[in-house]
C-alpha cells in the first residue's frame, strides 16, 4: 500500500490544485543555504497608510495561483527549475506588523541571512516599503550578492517613490514613498546606473522642480515616464536600460501599478487616468534583460481584496515573478 501511495503522489505532482500550495510548487525549505534562488513572501502593509492596507495578503494569493505556472520559459528556452535550486523559503516573520519601522528592521535582518548564504531572492509583497530593507540587505558595502558595491536598480512603477522633502509618510519614515531615496543616499543603490520606468498620472500637488520624476532626477536616476516609453518603444527602452546598467549587479523591483488597470485592477495605488504597460510590454521589457547580473527582485502592491473574480492581478504578479526568477536562473546558468 505504501508503494502505491508514493506512486499516486508522484503522479499528482503536475496538477496545480493538488498538495500544499507553494510558489510554483517549489519545495518548501526555509534554509537559504539549500537554495540558489529563494522565493519569499513579505506580508507587509504598514508602509503605505494612504491606501487600502491589504497588500499583506499578496504572498498567499500568489502561492494559490502559481501552481500551474511551473513551466519552461518559451522565449528563453529553458526551465528555471532545471538549472537552479529554487525553494519557497516561506514568509518573513513580522511580529510587529503595524509598526512599519520595526518591520523594515525585521525584513532587512531576514534578507541578510540570504545574502550571507549567497541566495538570490525573488519576493512577493507587501507594499513597496519592503524594497528598501531588501536592498539594504543584499547590496552595498559589505554585502556578498553585490560584491560590496551599490547595485543598479531597475524600477517598474507608476510612481518614483523617491520623496526626500518630507521626513515621513503618515508616520512611516522608511515608507513606500521614501525607499528609492534613502537606499541611494545610503549606498545600496547607484542611481547613475539605475532606471525608473512607467511613471504616470496627474500629480496630487504642485509638480516638483524638474517635472514628474524631478526628485529622482536630482538623485541621479534616469526616469522614463510612460509618455516617453510610448515614444521610445520596447526595443529602445531595453537598450537604454542595458546601456545604463552595464555589467553592474542589478536588482529589479516591479510595482504592479505600472500596469494598465484593465489587466491589473487589484493594486493599491491604481492610476486610471493614463494607460499603463500591457502584459506584453511588461514581459518583453523583462525578457530583454536576459544576460544582466540580476541579484534579486520583487513584485509589490498586489491587493487581492480588490482583484477580479478570476484573480487576474494575482496572476500578473505570478507572471512577473516567473520572469524575474528566470532572469536570475539565466545569470546563474551563464
Q: Are 189 and 150 in contact (CB under 8 A)?
A: yes
Q: Are 77 and 32 in contact (CB under 8 A)?
A: no
Query: Which of 212-216, 242-246, 313-317, 323-327 is the least confident region?
Result: 212-216
Cell of 325: 526568477
Q: In this predicted model, what pLDDT tens digit does every residue of 290-319 receive, in sequence order?
A: 999 999 999 999 999 999 999 999 999 999
Say if 16 falls within a structural domain. no
Could you tell me the residue range of the domain that residue 156 belongs to?
21-333
Distance of CA 23 to the CA centre of its chain: 14
For residue 202, what pLDDT is reported?
84
Say if 200 falls within a structural domain. yes
Instruction: For Cα atoms 17, 23, 27, give the angle at the middle one, nearest 5 degrees.
Output: 90
Distance of alpha carbon 299 from alpha carbon 318, whole angstroms: 9
What's the residue count for the chain?
Answer: 334
Say if 202 falls within a structural domain. yes
Q: What is the average pLDDT across 37-54?
A: 89
Distance of alpha carbon 76 from alpha carbon 30, whole angstroms: 28
Nearest to 304 by CA among 155, 125, 121: 125
Residue 256 makes CB contacts below 8 A (sequence gap 6+) with 264, 266, 267, 299, 300, 301, 302, 313, 316, 317, 320
Distance of alpha carbon 142 from alpha carbon 190, whole angstroms: 15
Please indicate whether residue 47 or residue 63 has the higher confidence score (pLDDT).
Answer: 63
Say if 3 falls within a structural domain. no
Q: In this predicted model, what pLDDT tens digit does every residue of 123-152 receive, in sequence order?
A: 999 999 999 999 999 999 999 999 999 999
The domain that holds 114 is classified in CATH as 3.40.800.10
Binned at pLDDT 50, 70 and 90, residue 174 comes out as confident
Say if 5 falls within a structural domain. no
CA distances to 123, 224, 323 from 85, in Å:
16, 35, 16
For residue 206, what pLDDT is reported?
53
Q: In this predicted model, what pLDDT tens digit does every residue of 74-129 receive, in sequence order?
A: 999 999 999 999 999 999 999 999 999 999 999 999 999 999 999 999 999 999 99
Beta bridge partners of residue 73, listed in sequence order: 78
Total-model pTM: 0.95
Domain count, the chain: 1
DSSP classification of residue 279: H
Residue 39 makes CB contacts below 8 A (sequence gap 6+) with 22, 23, 24, 26, 86, 87, 88, 89, 121, 122, 123, 124, 321, 325
Say if 318 falls within a structural domain. yes
Binned at pLDDT 50, 70 and 90, residue 1 comes out as very low
Q: What is the average pLDDT across 51-59?
A: 89
**Residue with C-alpha cell 494569493?**
61
CB atoms within 10 A of CB 240: 17
Cell of 284: 518583453
**Residue with C-alpha cell 525578457?**
287
For residue 159, what pLDDT is reported?
93
Please indicate whether residue 202 or residue 185 has the higher confidence score (pLDDT).
Answer: 185
Q: In this predicted model, what pLDDT tens digit does every residue of 192-227 receive, in sequence order?
A: 999 999 999 887 665 555 566 788 999 999 999 999
Distance of alpha carbon 137 from alpha carbon 111, whole angstroms: 6
Nearest to 214 by CA among 257, 177, 253, 160: 160
For residue 151, what pLDDT is reported?
98
Q: In this predicted model, what pLDDT tens digit does every residue of 8-38 receive, in sequence order?
A: 888 888 888 888 999 999 999 999 999 999 9
Say if 6 falls within a structural domain. no
Distance of alpha carbon 216 from alpha carbon 92, whole angstroms: 29
Amino acid at each position: 500500500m505504501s508503494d502505491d501511495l508514493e506512486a499516486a503522489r508522484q503522479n499528482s505532482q503536475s496538477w496545480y490544485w493538488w498538495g500544499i500550495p507553494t510558489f510554483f510548487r517549489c519545495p518548501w525549505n526555509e534554509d537559504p543555504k539549500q537554495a540558489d534562488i529563494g522565493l519569499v513572501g513579505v506580508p507587509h502593509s504598514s508602509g503605505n497608510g494612504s491606501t487600502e492596507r491589504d497588500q499583506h495578503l499578496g504572498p498567499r494569493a500568489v502561492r494559490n495561483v502559481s501552481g500551474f505556472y511551473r513551466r519552461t520559459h518559451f522565449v528563453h528556452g529553458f526551465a528555471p527549475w532545471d538549472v537552479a535550486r529554487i525553494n519557497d523559503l516561506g514568509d518573513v516573520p513580522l511580529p510587529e506588523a503595524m509598526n512599519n519601522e520595526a518591520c523594515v528592521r525585521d525584513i532587512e535582518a531576514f534578507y541578510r541571512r540570504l545574502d550571507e548564504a549567497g541566495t538570490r531572492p525573488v519576493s512577493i509583497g507587501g507594499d513597496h516599503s519592503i524594497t528598501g530593507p531588501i536592498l539594504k540587505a543584499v547590496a552595498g558595502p559589505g554585502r556578498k550578492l553585490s560584491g560590496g558595491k551599490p547595485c543598479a536598480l531597475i524600477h517598474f512603477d507608476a510612481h518614483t517613490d523617491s520623496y526626500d522633502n518630507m521626513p515621513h509618510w503618515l508616520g512611516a519614515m522608511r515608507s513606500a514613498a521614501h525607499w528609492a531615496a534613502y537606499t541611494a543616499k545610503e549606498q545600496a543603490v547607484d542611481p547613475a546606473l539605475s532606471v525608473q520606468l512607467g511613471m504616470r498620472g496627474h500629480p496630487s500637488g504642485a509638480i516638483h522642480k524638474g517635472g514628474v520624476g524631478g526628485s529622482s532626477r536630482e538623485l541621479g536616476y534616469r526616469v522614463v515616464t510612460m509618455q516617453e516609453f510610448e515614444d521610445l518603444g520596447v526595443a529602445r527602452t531595453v537598450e537604454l536600460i542595458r546601456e545604463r546598467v552595464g555589467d553592474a549587479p542589478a536588482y529589479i523591483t516591479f510595482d504592479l501599478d505600472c500596469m494598465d488597470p484593465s489587466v491589473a485592477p487589484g493594486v493599491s495605488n491604481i492610476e486610471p487616468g493614463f494607460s499603463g504597460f500591457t502584459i506584453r510590454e511588461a514581459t518583453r521589457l523583462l525578457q530583454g534583460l536576459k544576460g544582466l547580473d540580476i541579484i534579486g527582485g520583487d513584485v509589490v502592491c498586489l491587493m487581492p481584496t480588490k482583484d477580479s473574480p478570476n484573480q487576474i492581478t494575482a496572476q500578473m504578479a505570478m507572471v512577473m515573478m516567473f520572469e524575474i526568477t528566470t532572469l536570475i536562473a539565466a545569470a546563474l546558468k551563464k
